Homo-oligomer: A and B are copies of this chain.
Amino acid sequence: MPNFEAGKFDVIVVGAGHAGVEAALAAAKMGAKTLVLTINLDMIAFMPCNPSIGGPAKGIVVREIDALGGAMGKVIDKTHIQMRMLNTGKGPAVRALRAQADKVLYQNEMKRLLEEQENLTIHQAVVEELLVEDEKVVGLITQVGAVYRAETVVITTGTFLRGEIIIGDLKYSSGPNNQQPSIKLADSIRNLGFDLVRFKTGTPPRVNSKTVDYSKTEIQPGDDVPRAFSFETTEFIMDQLPCWLTYTSEKTHQIINDNLHLSPMYSGMIKGTGPRYCPSIEDKVVRFSDKPRHQIFLEPEGRNTREVYVQGLSTSLPEHVQRQLIASVPGLEKAEMMRAGYAIEYDAMVPTQLWPTLETKKIKNLYTAGQINGTSGYEEAAGQGLMAGINAALRVLKKEEKVLSRSDAYIGVLIDDLVTKGTNEPYRLLTSRAEYRLLLRHDNADLRLLEMGYTIGLVSQERYDKFVAKKKRVEDELVRLRTLFIKPNETTQELIRSVEGSELKDGIRAADLLKRTEMHYDLVAELAPSEVELSLEEKEQVEIQVKYEGYIEKSLQQVEKLKKMEDKKIPDQLDYDAISGIATEAKQKLKQVRPLSIAQASRISGVNPADISILLIYIEQGKIAKITG
């Protein structure tokens, strides 16, 4: 195949999955001349697994993406079949939105966004080789010999690198859902000297809803109030489809135990490491053998299809066992399996080879994002894709790179975990991974991140102006409530009695009254009406900030402390071998991760406080001069 010059771009994104689309849209919006290459244009933003977006932690990521000017939130707002706010009864830190997607509509809508984006060229092509000169990426070559030159390249190839599908003892080379795998690109990446690991993930069978007996299941409707991921969404889909809950039975567990020898997971056929937090049903049954049953959610794959995703039944057991498993679940006795579940093994980058910008340490201007970095999940992919796209564009624009800290966003936690700690298994975001959960809320994603989105050019002036006005209204109202005194007159006492609160002895600041458990913004506002009419969202914001003031304050103090540690930069060229006193393991890890700050260094597993102290002293003593000079 003779090569030919096919064009020059600022940013080339390889892959148009959930990471790739965000990367491409962001870079193009920021003004970089961007190209996105993908194997199959009919599969843009395809969901190979669960037809849903959001949920604990992940839902907050979607809000963050939206606040930064990304696409995922807006697209799911237009294409969902159901939305639910989870944990509404609990504190604001764990509230999260979850949507069931119309799988096909989601793809179409995302494809259209890409097609309409200025500065963005979309082309169907299989990338086979990266071009590198002087340890800097300069372009790539596709299957047909097209050579594209680029300032920066973002690779977002998901589970395609040397993908292999596994069902029972069948194993064949394939991308997800029988798509073409990516073999030569995997070789090219390995040949550049990158360490790759073998991971695996799995998906459950799908059944035809026509053959489900829903009378044996529990209905799970969507919320009947309008919900949206995007701060900008103004039209809401209120015509929602329900999901259905059922459970595995004793028989299900029996079938699994009887057929464990046929499981490629236990036979040793699967060598890749699977995701701990999305285990297969065989895994669940074996690991939690005392649990008599597991939840199974039946989730429609769209509005115009009868296909139903059987959440909870992810498996790579042989197809005949899968049929028995399905039939053993109440409601699914007669269900027809439309697709079998399967596992897929693939190559992933060891993510400690990346800077927090998602640029690779080895090859300049080369970024990786999404499942290729060892994560699992659409939202995790999208969040990384957005940040990689932003940083690739910033590099081209010769602007300073942007890194979200752990206190800025879940996306910050995710990326920091990856590049600092690495991961031995497909990494999934969980609320427990964040130390500042109370700061990283669903409701305040815009307050945390919209400013940044605006600065880098992803948020329009109009949207920004609206946001500033909102922010001001909230702040003004906070000031007002914190200063305004409410008198213990009869109106006040009556209102308090009406919600079974205890009467006031003295006057009280409005904010303090609002802090009481039984109190809500609207009640307090009755006693102390505001001149400005606040939106629902603004009222909620005021209420949360008042009610959780103490906790938030504490978190912020911790963040301040951390900031000091983050500010203690470690020079990139630091020669760890020259520092005596640091433990061998710590040294090894530090040399591998090359942390940018003392804070990051302290998060590396195997690096202990004692090592950090030595490192701190070493740097503060200015010994650095001799190696950086």
- Flag if B40 contacts A178 (CB, 8 Å): yes
Q: Does A289 contact B (CB under 8 A)?
A: no
- Flag if A340 contacts B124 (CB, 8 Å): yes
**A108-B304 CB under 8 A given contacts A144-B340, A320-B6, A338-B122:** yes
Q: Does A73 contact B (CB under 8 A)?
A: no
Q: How many copies does the complex hold?
A: 2
Select one of B115, B125, B170, B340 contacting A307, CB under 8 A.
B115
- Flag if A1 contacts B169 (CB, 8 Å): yes
Contacts of A323 in B (CB 8 A): 6
Q: Mark A574-615, 1 if CB is under 8 A from B, else 0.
A: 000000000000000000000000000000000000000000
- Flag if A318 contacts B144 (CB, 8 Å): yes
- Flag if A144 contacts B124 (CB, 8 Å): no
Contacts of A572 in B (CB 8 A): none
Closest Cβ of chain B to A205, distance in Å, is 10
Q: Does A337 contact B (CB under 8 A)?
A: yes
Contacts of A123 in B (CB 8 A): 336-339
- Flag if A320 contacts B146 (CB, 8 Å): yes
- Flag if A144 contacts B319 (CB, 8 Å): yes
Select one of B39, B108, B144 contacting A167, CB under 8 A.
B144
Closest Cβ of chain B to A106, distance in Å, is 12
Q: Does A116 contact B (CB under 8 A)?
A: yes
**A320-B168 CB under 8 A given contacts A174-B180, A337-B123:** no
Q: Mark A305-329, 1 if CB is under 8 A from B, else 0.
A: 1110000000000111001000000
Contacts of A302 in B (CB 8 A): 108
- Flag if B144 contacts A112 (CB, 8 Å): no
Select one of B2, B112, B178 contacting A306, CB under 8 A.
B112
Closest Cβ of chain B to A355, distance in Å, is 32
Select one of B1, B5, B168, B305 contacting A1, CB under 8 A.
B168
- Flag if A116 contacts B338 (CB, 8 Å): no
**A319-B145 CB under 8 A given contacts A1-B169, A305-B108, A338-B124:** yes
- Flag if A304 contacts B109 (CB, 8 Å): yes
Q: Does A42 contact B (CB under 8 A)?
A: yes
- CA–CA, A125 and B42, complex, Å: 20
Q: Does A276 contact B (CB under 8 A)?
A: no
Contacts of A39 in B (CB 8 A): 178
Contacts of A41 in B (CB 8 A): 206, 307, 338-339
**A104-B108 CB under 8 A given contacts A1-B170, A123-B339:** yes
Q: Mark A142-168, 1 if CB is under 8 A from B, else 0.
A: 011110000000000000000000011
| CB-contacts of A82-122 with B (<8 A) | 104, 108-109, 111-112, 115-116, 121-122
Q: Mark A208-222, 1 if CB is under 8 A from B, else 0.
A: 101000000000000
- Flag if A177 contacts B40 (CB, 8 Å): yes
- CA–CA, A211 and B172, complex, Å: 40
Contacts of A112 in B (CB 8 A): 304-306
Q: Does A551 contact B (CB under 8 A)?
A: no
Q: Does A277 contact B (CB under 8 A)?
A: no
In the complex, residue of chain B having the shortest beta-carbon distance to the beta carbon of A209: B115
Closest Cβ of chain B to A333, distance in Å, is 15
In the complex, residue of chain B having the shortest beta-carbon distance to the beta carbon of A144: B319
Select one of B125, B146, B169, B319 contacting A6, CB under 8 A.
B319
- Flag if A319 contacts B146 (CB, 8 Å): yes
Contacts of A210 in B (CB 8 A): 115-116
Select one of B46, B145, B178 contacting A180, CB under 8 A.
B178
- Flag if A4 contacts B318 (CB, 8 Å): yes
Question: Considering residues A6, A42, A305, A319, which has the most beta carbons from chain B within 10 angstroms of its beta carbon?
Answer: A42
- Flag if B146 contacts A306 (CB, 8 Å): no
Select one of B125, B178, B306 contacting A115, CB under 8 A.
B306
Q: Mark A17-50, 1 if CB is under 8 A from B, else 0.
A: 0000000000000000000000111110010000
- CA–CA, A39 and B40, complex, Å: 16
Contacts of A208 in B (CB 8 A): 115, 121-122
Contacts of A2 in B (CB 8 A): 169, 318
- Flag if B170 contacts A144 (CB, 8 Å): yes
In the complex, given contacts A6-B323, A42-B177, A180-B180, what are 13 additional A-B residue pairs having Cβ atoms less than 8 angstroms apart? Answer: A1-B170, A2-B318, A4-B319, A41-B339, A42-B43, A109-B304, A111-B305, A112-B305, A115-B306, A115-B307, A122-B338, A144-B167, A145-B319
Q: List 28 A-B contacts (CB under 8 A).
A: A1-B168, A1-B169, A1-B170, A5-B320, A6-B319, A41-B206, A41-B307, A42-B43, A42-B104, A108-B302, A108-B305, A112-B306, A115-B305, A123-B336, A123-B337, A123-B338, A124-B178, A124-B338, A124-B340, A125-B340, A144-B168, A144-B318, A144-B340, A145-B168, A145-B320, A146-B319, A178-B180, A179-B180
Nearest 8 pairs of A and B residues by beta carbon: A115-B306, A4-B320, A124-B339, A144-B319, A121-B336, A178-B180, A40-B178, A1-B170
